Structure 1
Amino acid sequence: MPGPGEVLVKNAVVAQNPSDWKTIEWGLVRPGDGVGSDFVGRIVALGQGVDDVKIGDRVSGWLLPESTAKASTAYREYSIIRSKPLIHIPDNVPDDEAATFFCATATAASGLRALLGFPLIAPYNRSLLVWGGSCQYLL
């Protein structure tokens, strides 16, 4: 059962993420802990103090590497994850697309961070094009 601030999600679709093989190859997970970070599913139980989502909500999430210490990964039927930040998924977005939201967002944010120090500085008087999770800096 989920603890304070956590939810239990019944996974519908799990996306593969480059971090999945890297955590195994680099010895960041112990045998039996499992991998898998990106998922979409429905909330089936709420932990104490959770008020930003409700049972039945369709959400997408990203289980961070430190959460694998609890052996809660996406490559399971159910995952336990903190309720923030989960993305509410509209009905018109297919599960397979929704499962990739976090990886694509993290990829774009990593590029912005590397190029511009985002979110520490703003690109004043410059244009920035983010296209499909790739980043191109325009002078």
Structure 2
Amino acid sequence: MRAITYTRNGGPEVLELTDRPVPEPGPGEVLVRLAVAGVNPTDWKSRTNTSPGPGGQVPGQDGAGTVEAVGRGVDPAVTGQRVWVWEAAWQRPWGTAAEYTVVPLRQAVLLGADASSELGAALGIPFLTAHRCLTLGESVPDRLGPGALTGRTVLVQGGAGAVGNAAVQLARWADATVVATVSSPRKAQLAAAAGASHVVDYRQQDVVAEVRKVAPRGVDVVVEVSAARNAAVDAQVLGVHGAVGMYADDGGAEVTIPVRAQMGPNARWQFVLVYTEPERAKALGVEDVTAAVLDGAVRVGEDAGLPLHVYPLADTAEAHRAVEGGAVGKVLVDVTA
């Protein structure tokens, strides 16, 4: 099979198109023939900072394809099913930037006949991260679905990013009022297309004043892309029993939180890394994201506020450069091209 591999850390230039044997699924595993792979910030960060194993590393956590074969203990009936794959390369050598990958059965999730492979490859890390952020705190349930967030207000800081877009779409599916912040008119259009009820340009408007107009008693959840920059704003708009889910690292910056002001509302500030989140929370996230897909509630593309940037497998290095450079939208790799 064709696969992108790196055997040392470094920039995108360490990624090489190689010819490797198709892996065999072990007990409890499935072999997935991939159609599209997703590219996330953690892919280039791992490529830069985490040493590959002795046989090299195939990058890519997310993807979509078809179950080609099963290992011992897996019902053969799943063969031929279209699936979306999550965390393929987490502590494993077989990522999704390849024609085939091997994952435990639970990490190959039914995609359904109507969802595109592009949507399937865009789910994984962004949508599971967004789900975790949206279900923190005492004022919201730990499950999403129609009506789950009725009467709640969600603030998505950075509503035009991949996780921000996922948060907007999932929150709207759950009937929340969604306020999204953006940095330009173009990004405002994308956040609105995703389903944000209100969009605030933080470079032109007072975020605290605008959010308080929508939620005078404060918001229930903040999905936070830049806690170091936005902590003071988040603290001023968070309501009683509200929660801030911080999912990006701000390049190692430190976060300053006004402690006393956050004690009164019993606020929760929580770091979110999908790979190490509690297993139950992750399992619920997979179930809810799958339900949203089967419900037709989440989409990708310009009309969903998530422009797609698709590269052929041989140009995976360029896809990594695009993500590292802050491409607006979702970067994908067409594994078949």
Normalising by the smaller structure, the TM-score range is 0.7 to 0.9
Query: What does residue 134 of structure 1 align with?
Result: 167
Report 1:118-133 matches (<5 A).
Answer: 123=140, 127=152, 129=154, 132-133=165-166
- Specify whether residues 73 and 53 from structure 1 end up closer, same or farther in structure 2 by C-alpha distance, changes over 3 A only: farther
How many pairs does the alignment contain?
131
Classify 1:108/1:28 alpha carbon distance in 2 versus 1 (closer, same or farther; 3 Å): farther
Q: Normalized per residue, which structure has more strand?
A: 1
- Pick the structure with greater CA Rg: 2
* Higher RCO by CA contacts (8 Å cutoff, separation 6 or greater): 1
- The code of the aligned residue for 1:132 comes to N
Q: Which residue of 2 aligns with 1:65?
A: 90
What is the deviation of 1:122? 6.3
Residue 2 in structure 1 maps to residue 25 in structure 2: yes
Within the candidate set 58, 75, 92, 1:51 is matched to 75
User: Does residue 1:101 correspond to 2:123, yes or no?
Assistant: yes
Q: Is the 8 A contact 2:37 2:96 kept in 1?
A: yes
Structure 1 residue 98 displacement after superposition = 1.2
**Deviations for 1:50-89, whole angstroms, at most 9, x for unmatched residues?**
138611000001114112xxx2111111100000132211
Match of 1:134, SS? helix
| Equivalent residues of 2:134, 2:167 under 8 A apart | no
Do 1:14 and 1:40's aligned partners in 2 also have CA atoms closer than 8 Å?
Answer: yes
User: Mind listing any 5+ residue stretches in structure 2 that lack a counterpart?
Assistant: 1-23, 142-150, 157-163, 169-177, 179-218, 221-238, 240-337
Q: Which residue of 1 aligns with 2:44?
A: 21
- Tell me the CA shift for residue 105 of structure 1: 2.1
Structure 1: 5+ residue runs without aligned partners?
A: none
Q: Hey, which of these two has a bigger chunk of helix by percent? A: 2
Shift of 1:107: 1.9
RMSD of aligned residue pairs (Cα, Å) = 2.8
TM-score (norm 1): 0.78
Query: Where do 4+ consecutive residues of structure 1 move more than 6 Å?
Result: none
Per the alignment, do residues 9 and 18 of structure 1 end up closer, same or farther by CA in structure 2, a change over 3 Å counting?
Answer: same
